[in-house]
Amino acid sequence: MLTSRRFQLPKLYDVSRGLYRCTLPFHFHVGRLRGKQASASDDSPEGEKEIEFRLHKSKGQHLLVNPRVLDNILREADVRRTDTVLEIGPGTGNLTLKLLEACRRVVAVEIDRRMVAVLLQRVADHGSQQKLTVIQKDALKVEFPQFDIVVANIPYGISSPLIFKLVYGESRFRSATLLLQHEFAKRLLANPGESEYNRLAANVKLVADVTPGFKVSKRDFLPIPKVDSSVVTIRPKAQIPDVNIAEWLAFTRTCFGKKNKTLGATFKQKRKLAEIFRTSMENEMNKECSVDGYRDNQNISDKDDSSEEDTEEPTEDCLPAHAVESEISLFREKIIRVLRSCGFEDKRPSKLSNGNLLHLLELLNDAGVYFRDCRKPQAENHANAML
């Protein structure tokens, strides 16, 4: 049954060339797993079926099969007996079984029902089903229940939006220990001035501390992926800067659009300038029109993600139909004056700390320059921010 030459794997593991093979009770799961992607053979003991299904690269289905690495991840995550652990993408449960032994409860969010079936069976065999809640959904679309920490070998394709959802979401948690693609982890860990520093790092570090763990070889996974991985721990900050989050995210999107351009050059681009001019006018109008005034960053959890009606052109009484060229020209001069006043005109965003960027944003806002699209709900402003 075992195909891995490197590791002694429990009975259920049999991953070879992208196929997952295992034995499940006939009545319990096989029916659900049959079909296009699963097959069953009839020569297993009575009451059981050996099933086989293909692992999908598109869903990042590379299973971590080295028990030493699994143990090291648990150690790195500092799991406590009293913790509820959120695991994104439990797959067939290699990490889940270890987590169940170390904590009070595991909430596992898995998109693939075939994986869920195997996971449930393995956890039942392990005798710890009472401690497991499985949510069979897309982790990006589901509202997470309360949890203390995240420990997960996530599908790498959703790293960026998932981290964003965690650090800018509603849930309060102690830490997230994640296995990430090594190159992605390097970008997340980068500091201003380093070549990998980017908008993702700036945005995450505004609200969380990120610490490196250890590197994991691609040979520790089955099927073997093309890239190595790294463990990283993200800890939300107790105190975050007093800034409108939607505004900050839109601002960093502008600054890091071409991260190696100087800020002076970025703010001279005609299209960019026209866009900022428009949002600034709208924000100013909005401030005057709105009873509540400018929405503060307590609204970052706004869950409305409708898009169509919010992207309509603004009505005439909120925005002049045409921005006259000379007005935009004056607007550009205003921005350049602000950049000069703090000595940032020739600076590149990738070399500035978040403290510098926050200072610049404050000066620009004071001068009536705004970045977030006030026609869109906060959630939508956020959803685009890391992509």
Q: Which range of residues in 91-99, 183-191, 204-212, 313-321 is near ligand SAM by CB under 6 A?
A: 91-99
Torsion of CA 114, 18, 231, 169, to 10 degrees: -40
Tokens for 184, please give them. 């992605």
Residue 94 sits in the site that holds ligand SAM (CB under 6 A): yes
Structural contact between residues 302 and 327, judged by C-beta atoms closer than 8 angstroms? no
> What are 108's strand-pairing partners?
87, 134
User: How many residues touch ligand SAM (CB under 6 A)?
Assistant: 23
Residue 139 sits in the site that holds ligand SAM (CB under 6 A): yes
Decide whether 218 or 334 has the Cβ nearer to ligand SAM. Answer: 218
Decide whether 111 or 208 has the Cβ nearer to ligand SAM. Answer: 111
Instruction: Give the contacts of 308 (CB within 8 A, at least 6 positions apart).
Output: none
Q: Which range of residues in 8-16, 103-111, 163-171, 349-357 is near ligand SAM by CB under 6 A?
A: 103-111
Which one of 22, 24, 51, 64 is in contact with ligand SAM (CB under 6 A)?
64
Residue 220 sits in the site that holds ligand SAM (CB under 6 A): no
For 171-208, give the DSSP string: ---SEEEEEEEHHHHHHHH--TTSTT--HHHHHHHHHE
> What are 84's strand-pairing partners?
105
Least separation in angstroms between CB 7 and ligand SAM:
12
Least separation in angstroms between CB 223 and ligand SAM:
11
Q: How many C-beta neighbours within 10 Å does residue 43 have?
A: 6
Residue 62 sits in the site that holds ligand SAM (CB under 6 A): yes
Return phi, psi of residue 151, to 5°.
Answer: -135, 120
Tokens for 342, please give them. 């703090």
Least separation in angstroms between CB 10 and ligand SAM:
12
Least separation in angstroms between CB 209 and ligand SAM:
24
Residue 59 sits in the site that holds ligand SAM (CB under 6 A): yes
Residue 135 sits in the site that holds ligand SAM (CB under 6 A): no
Least separation in angstroms between CB 179 and ligand SAM:
7
Which one of 14, 76, 110, 220 is in contact with ligand SAM (CB under 6 A)?
110
Cα-Cα end-to-end distance for the chain: 42
Residue 89 sits in the site that holds ligand SAM (CB under 6 A): yes
Residue 115 sits in the site that holds ligand SAM (CB under 6 A): yes
Q: How far apart are CA 357 and CA 249, in angstroms?
A: 11
Preceding amide of 225 cis, omega within 30: no
Structural contact between residues 299 and 374, judged by C-beta atoms closer than 8 angstroms? no
Report the site for ligand SAM in 296-335 (rule: CB under 6 A). none
Least separation in angstroms between CB 55 and ligand SAM:
8
Report the SS3 class of residue 372: coil
Count the helices and strands in the chain (H runs, E runs). Answer: 13, 13
Residue 111 sits in the site that holds ligand SAM (CB under 6 A): yes
Residue 158 sits in the site that holds ligand SAM (CB under 6 A): yes
- Residue of this chain nearest to ligand SAM (CB atom): 89
Decide whether 87 or 380 has the Cβ nearer to ligand SAM. Answer: 87
Decide whether 15 or 243 has the Cβ nearer to ligand SAM. Answer: 15
Which one of 95, 151, 204, 210 is in contact with ligand SAM (CB under 6 A)?
95
Residue 38 sits in the site that holds ligand SAM (CB under 6 A): no
Residue 153 sits in the site that holds ligand SAM (CB under 6 A): yes
Report the SS3 class of residue 353: coil
Instruction: Give the contacts of 347 (CB within 8 A, at least 6 positions apart).
Output: 262, 263, 356
Q: How far apart are CA 78 and CA 329, in angstroms?
A: 55
Residue 14 sits in the site that holds ligand SAM (CB under 6 A): no
From 137, 167, 147, select the one nearest 232 (Cα to Cα): 167
Q: How far apart are CA 158 and CA 195, in angstroms?
A: 23
Instruction: Give the contacts of 293 (CB within 8 A, at least 6 positions apart).
Output: 287
Decide whether 60 or 236 has the Cβ nearer to ligand SAM. Answer: 60
Tell me, what DSSP letter sits at residue 146? P
* Residues that bind ligand SAM in the complex, under the rule CB under 6 A: 59-64, 88-91, 94-95, 109-112, 115, 138-140, 153, 155, 158
